[in-house]
Structure 1
Amino acid sequence: MAVLLWVVLLSAGVSLSQAQESFSKLPDIYKKGVELALRAINAHHASKDHFLFLKSIHQAEIEAGFDVVYIYHNFYLKATKCKRGTENADTTTCAFRNDRPLIDCAICYKTYAGATEEEPKPYVSCVHKPALTQDMKKDRIEHCNKMGYSSGSPTLLAVIS
């Protein structure tokens, strides 16, 4: 039943098709999650390149009431020609590389009054796109569902009489 909730949210979520949507066009609530993923990827010891947001795949949110919102965001990151750790990088100073695979990231987290909550801990899953399997995608959704249920959040299914 929990998986069904996220399937409904994902199918109802926004599917963006623009080839190079800029980070600045994202709503603030989604920018926070992308920033979490970027910090994790750009700090990873094996990464030599600096990564930037490329585009959103799916966005979904559940308004749980009392200014609590659960966010799910699936997006691509792409390597740039800048070295890891480059400060204040953007697409004008760090051009995208076309010789590296995209990073497919899915993140889910809870916000309260627009701020990201530390509990439950935000979930970040970033994988090179060619290595991403259907099982991994399913595991992401299940993890995000459990996060929402562990906090006692309402579901779309609970609203149906």
Structure 2
Amino acid sequence: MPNSTKISTTVFEFEDIAKCSSEIQELMSRAVSIRDKAYTPYSQFQVGAAILLENGEIITGSNQENASYPSGLCAERTAIFYAGAQYPNQKIKTIAITASGIYKDNLEPVPPCGACRQAIAEYEQKQKSPIVVYFMGKTGRVKMVESLLSLLPLAFSEDYLK
């Protein structure tokens, strides 16, 4: 039998956003506001992300779809790439994500997709400090991990390219 490694993670859960700190409530509020501006004519699934930088700036992004599906971009990557382009020397402290369908209210917390996990992991590895991730559906419970790498424990990194 081959050797095995057990991987586990801790996910914290809040009953609703009111149970989070005022800083996180404001961040999630910004994510909700931008979620409603998402361009989603095909999936009808809106996502908003708000990023808190170490200098206090908040960067937001929403998902932007395209008829050529791979050409669209998720909310998390829209926000994180903008933050990287405009504030390349600022560390990302926290990201808040909210997602819901236009015709179906998602009440379960919606985590970032795999591509977004990898993109956020790249920034976490680059800055050598964790990025706290909060995520929720349209309303209701909020989940939190203290590091994106908790959601992607075997992340691909630049170390494999050297």
Same fold (TM over 0.5): no
Bigger share in strand: 1
| TM-score computed with the length of structure 1 as normaliser | 0.33
